[in-house]
Structure 1
């Protein structure tokens, strides 16, 4: 798609949005000249976050269950701006947001942050080993995705693509706060790859002040088949995961609490291609690979009822990822050549990343004249250690960060949010010649402004600046250790949220934003060609849309769309397409809820064809059917039955940026029961 056509489509879609919003606002004004207030009407699958200027989407427990996702990546692929590199397996997959994050060479570029209960997880730029996001969807009750930079300053520096926040389940989610214990058992079967998953949860609340949760999930899958019936090589996996969580509430008026959570996931693969992105063995040969990923957090909260200036969280978190690899003799075609030593160093490399973070965060509520403030301030002390590997230098990255974000509300109309983050970094290499000490620091910040009319309509805009300080992986290039990548992002958008538009009791929400990002002083990428040329700067722009409509009868519709474009400027003065630009996409769902018992839906997912630097990826449209049955009485009460049929017409396709064909038709059956 040409840049001119992209801009035309952006303008046309924006105009259509404004017409739709204005029409909805007119209906709302006819129904009620005053503020619509909080409406309890029909519900769709996903709530559109219309009350904030931040482009964010939350996938809650109900949608997590409904999607029957096999990986965390599949949980959020329905968020506009999110594109997956593969995605149906934990290995060889990755999360890309707005053109940044994972790609087919590295599992991450450090521009998308992933947190589990506040712990920073994941490794750095490991060559062809994927995203390293090994964990299971059954451990979590919601996933929040922030796109872009403006909402990221509480979570890290250098975040250009966005933030993925995973929150684990609590015992009280199952017990409902009542004393006693609840046992929940889930079995899930999938036809494509003979998938089998078992998730067992024990929630125990011995007193009103204490609660405990234990979850063990075991997930197994053989190689899947694509739409042509051909095996998708390297797509089999076995993934056991566990979660332990405890919370103790104490103090006057129960205003203090201690919460501990720990997750662990392991993966063992034997005689598989070193390159996790491919389906068959290549020149790198095969390896035995064992991966162990764990994260733990201990959080103290103090929130006195009589003091709105204090809502303090003190959190100590630890994340550990260990990847052990052993080369399979005779598996590489490069044995005996001049490159054999490099191949052995790469494929025999053991990697380990350990990240410890101590954070202090306080939220204060106060008024200054006509302005109401929600001020969030924080201090973070972060230490990341990387083990020496055959193919990469180890070291320690010590960081100190302070931040302040102030949501300032003026009446019911204006919300102005300035944000600042200052971060220092000291990286120490552990092996000569990369054993120096490198100090860097950066001041980052942004501003968002939102104006809400009294008819449910709102407009907003933001500007944000961030820097990616050097990382441990840059130790292999001393010149990079004094450079930071710099990014500016600008956004404009509008939203509407109201009800009683077309008939009594209906609800409608829509939110759209246009963004433009400029990344300069680039050190993370080359042009990907031969010979390679460094990339000086990258410009990306896009349009994101989310909408939902629901009626009291139970009928609902959800839609999101994404249009994007990108250009990379090379060191030799030339420019071409940004090769990690996502394809334009549209996702549409229509469904019907029959009370609390039955939910039936059809989902269409479509990607436009895209040509990047002369290489075209064909577009596609696939269809998914879902049914959820939750009996409210009788012998099946406390039982949930879900049936999903993905890729109904067995379409053979490969999404843009993926290195494998997508799975063909897949029938999923999930049975859940609480005792």
Structure 2
């Protein structure tokens, strides 16, 4: 599968304000609408966040297994409302083939976030540990403090507390203009405990809870734009919590590696309209608008996932099989005035992924069966109040390893997006959507090479290229441009992704990632146009030099082409340069200290990012410095 992992060191080096900024260097990933946690969204291969909603249900976001950021909220971002400094790793699976253990209808991919552990700070041995980070950025006068306190009383118990506070004023673009609606203040915390017990320490119980809160005053209701516009401004409180309890049983048996993950995600958004902020105040349409911007929202998702990983042999085949059961309930308070009908979505799913190896061949079939029942919070008479649907989906991946570092692979995957709470309603359009499951097919083919001593003694070189083609049909989530009740006939998206890295014994290194693609949306009358959410053509090149583990200096170049803003207007090509330096002194009282310095948009370029609102320009030149002390 197309998989990229961003580790804790890179998360710190990138000095990102949002999780979306952490992963926007991955091929095919687009950061939509800026650098604020409330407004930004994640788009993968043209699916996910778009110019209207923060999610289209075609990417999945998981925090320690909890499903988050999946509501279709008008003019609100992805709802992945959290701080990047809470996490030790972010993993991105692109496309459908790797998604069957995580959900249905996933076309763009999966974003998996893993919170930090106490053992990361104690070295896995009993005792105390932790770290303190301070960070400052010149653009927006941004300030960050992140504190980690870890304690392992024994090797069988560990506890971690993290408190992070991030504060930023409005940013400035490359032309010196203020980027409205870009200020935020977000306190976050993480509490995590793990207990290991049983014979040979085969069992463990882990609890984690993370929470982020923002109390914004007199800010635009429309998170994607920089001004209030017709909606005006609101006082908005956003409170997001994820709680996870995981049990693992991993005895000395190849047939048993059992996990039970119980998660609860809760997001509350409370609004109060700021009088006089809307130009429509006093008009006949204002009462309806006032109901919209004053409507509070709450979304709760409770999920239990049981999985077992087994290693076994059948004849010549070696199996690595993951099988699981998932039960999920999503509840949403009624907010019909804001276009978010209330209700309950109950689902259960069975899935199996079996990686079978024979010789140099690997064959991996995957299956998922899912059943859903959606029940409206309000009566839909004369239409039913409850709807049920199910689907069987799956894929097949093939790989061959030539044994010399070169491998080739390919996959075919089919998934269905079952109706969601947003599809509830009594109109003909709603009734059509609630009875339809979106369907997609994805084909992928690629090759990879990894080797050492390739161009020079003791060097290392890795390269991976991947072609993909996706067709989405029976569409219910995208309408014809300019229409409100007529859906597109189908969407086709295709592209090429390339990742490569090279390192020399001297410490010089180069990292490259790129994406070239295009998409087409087809109307029911046979006409077509460019797919409105297509990912841009973009390349990232980083050249750097390391001096042992003490000093790391790098220069990143990001070039984007074939871009469009949120209104579909073409944007010029853009090139941004970023500089980063990390110093880790290891002598005396400085041991355990990390100093990072970065300059983003070095040449202060004035540009608008792909799929962003025309008024939401990219930040101008920004100097960043951070100091971390581990203890």
TM range (shorter): over 0.9
Higher strand share: 2
Post-superposition CA distance 1:579-634 (Å, at most 9, x none): 01121000000000000100000000010144699731111001000000001222
User: What are the superposed Cα offsets for residues 232-267 of structure 1, whole Å, 9 maximum, x if unpaired?
Assistant: 000000000000000000011100000001000001
**Whole-angstrom distance in 1 between the partners of 2:81 and 2:186:** 8
Q: Which residue of 2 aligns with 1:312?
A: 258
Which sits farther off after the overlay, 431-440 or 582-591?
431-440
Counterpart residue number, 1:35: none
Other-structure match for 2:292:
346
Match of 2:87 among 116, 137, 140: 140
Cα distance, 1:99 vs structure 2: 0.3
CA distance in 1, matches of 2:404, 2:519: 36
| Structure 2: distance between partners of 1:533 and 1:339 | 25
Structure 2 residue 432 is the aligned partner of structure 1 residue 479: yes
Show CA shifts across 1:187-214 (max 9, x none).
0000000000000000100011000000
Query: Is the Cα–Cα contact under 8 Å of residues 283 and 332 in structure 1 kept in the other structure?
Result: yes
CA contact (8 A) 1:397 1:427 kept: yes
Q: Measure how far apart 1:148 and its partner are.
A: 0.5
User: Deviation digits for residues 8-63 of structure 1, max 9, x if unmatched?
Assistant: xxxxxxxxxxxxxxxxxxxxxxxxxxxxxxxxxxxxxxxxxxxxxx0010001111
Deviation per CA, 1:140-187, whole angstroms, max 9, x where unpaired?
Answer: 000000001000000000000000000000000110111111131000
Give the secondary-structure state (helix, strand or coil) at the position aligned to 1:74. helix
After superposition, the Cα gap between the structure-2 partners of 1:523 and 1:415, relative to the gap in structure 1 and judged at 3 Å, is same
Shift in alpha-carbon separation, 1:650–1:433, aligned structure 2, 3 A: same
Measure the CA separation in 2 of the matches of 1:580 and 1:84: 12
Q: Post-superposition shift, 1:345?
A: 2.1
Alignment of 1:673 with 2:629, yes or no, is: yes
Distance in 1, Cα, partners of 2:325 & 2:167: 41
SS in 2 for 1:669: strand
Correspondences of 1:142-541 after superposition (within 5 Å): 142-305=89-252, 307-389=253-335, 390-391=337-338, 392-411=340-359, 413-433=360-380, 436-476=385-425, 477-529=430-482, 533-541=486-494
3-state SS in 2 of match to 1:603: strand
Query: In 1, distance between residues paired with 2:604 and 2:442?
Result: 40
| Deviation per residue, 1:413-444 (Å, 9 max, x gap) | 11110000000000000112276110000000
Bigger RCO of structures 1 and 2 (CA < 8 A, at least 6 apart)? 1
User: Within 5 Å, which residues of 2 pair with 1:550-589?
Assistant: 550-589=503-542
Q: Which moved more, 1:569-578 or 1:539-548?
A: 569-578
Report deviation, 1:123.
Answer: 3.9
Tell me the TM-score normalized by structure 1.
0.90
- Residue 658 of structure 1 corresponds to 612
* Cα distance in 1 between the residues matched to 2:48 and 2:281: 33
Counterpart in the other structure of 1:647: 601
Match of 2:580 in 1: 626
- For the 8 Å contact 1:445–1:464, the answer to whether it is kept is yes
> 1:302 touches 1:313 (CA, 8 Å); kept in 2?
yes
Cα distance in 1, alignment partners of residues 152 and 216 from structure 2: 38
For residue 530 of structure 1, report the CA deviation from its aligned partner. 5.7
- In structure 1, C-alpha distance between the alignment counterparts of 2:440 and 2:355, rounded to whole Å: 23
Counterpart contact for 1:588–1:604, Cα < 8 Å:
yes
Whether the 8 Å contact between 1:73 and 1:87 is mirrored in structure 2 is no
SS in 2 for 1:138: helix
Q: Give the gaps of 5 or more residues in structure 1.
A: 1-53
Determine which of 51, 70, 92 is the counterpart of 1:104.
Answer: 51
Q: Counterparts of 1:155 and 1:221 in 2: how far apart (Å)?
A: 34
Partners of 1:123 and 1:321 within 8 A in 2: no
Between the aligned partners of 1:72 and 1:611, the Cα distance in structure 2 is: 23
> In structure 2, what is the Cα distance between the partners aligned to 1:540 and 1:343?
36
Report how many aligned residue pairs link the two structures.
Answer: 620
Q: Equivalent residue of 1:271, what SS? A: strand
Q: Following TM superposition, by how much is the alpha carbon of 1:532 offset from its aligned partner in structure 2, in angstroms? A: 7.0
Counterparts of 2:439 and 2:250, CA distance in 1? 37
Q: Which residue of 2 aligns with 1:616?
A: 570
Give yes or no for contact 2:563–2:611 (8 Å, CA) kept in 1: no
Measure the CA separation in 1 of the matches of 2:150 and 2:323: 34
Map residues 66-81 of structure 1 onto 2, 5 A cutoff: 66-81=13-28
Q: After TM superposition, give the deviation of residue 481 of structure 1 in Å.
A: 1.0
CA distance in 1, matches of 2:274, 2:237: 14
**Conserved? CA contact 1:59–1:144, under 8 Å:** yes
Matched, 1:83 2:30: yes
Q: In 2, distance between residues paired with 1:369 and 1:633?
A: 57
Distance of aligned partners of 1:366 and 1:556 in 2 relative to their CA distance in 1, 3 Å threshold: same
**Partners in 2 of 1:341 and 1:569 — Cα distance?**
37
- Report what 2:591 is aligned to: 637
Q: TM-score, length-normalised on structure 2?
A: 0.97
User: Which whole-Å CA distance do the structure 1 matches of 2:289 and 2:78 have between them?
Assistant: 21
Classify 1:611/1:386 alpha carbon distance in 2 versus 1 (closer, same or farther; 3 Å).
closer
